[in-house]
Amino acid sequence: MALVLLAAGCGGETEHSLSKTRSCLESDHVRIGGKLDFVASTAPAGAFVAHLDDNFVTIVFGENDSNADELEAAYHRFAFSNVREGLPDVLRRDRNVVMLWHKHPADAALSTVTGCLE
């Protein structure tokens, strides 16, 4: 029975870490820094802005999936009416992380960021 419980605890999805993600992006020569929007400034596990070529992304961390649900809902709630329609194109989610891009992300930029989510 103990072996079954031990195996059940292994290999499950874990939450992404702000510090590990940030370090990975910095090692890929991504410039980090910038003003956080209101939603990002309230993130329970922190947030930062990453600049990739001619675009940037605000990467917002919840402590868990439920926090990320709330953060994602807040971006929808506070979006200006002229932005709301295009929000699905620039708002991405991966477990406890919400990413808000300034404009549609290029595949390479998106791959860089999602590849660094640790």
Q: What is the DSSP string of 9-42?
A: HSS------HHHHHHHHHHTT-EE-----HHHHT
| Nearest-angstrom CA–CA distance, 69 and 104 | 21
| Nearest-angstrom CA–CA distance, 52 and 31 | 7
Instruction: Give the pLDDT band (50/70/90) at residue 69.
Output: very high
| Nearest-angstrom CA–CA distance, 1 and 5 | 6
Query: Per-domain residue ranges for the chain?
Result: 14-116
Ramachandran sector of residue 11 (left: φ over 0; alpha: ψ -120 to 50; beta: rest): left
Ramachandran sector of residue 51 (left: φ over 0; alpha: ψ -120 to 50; beta: rest): beta
pLDDT tens profile 1-41: 343 433 344 445 689 999 999 999 999 999 999 999 999 99
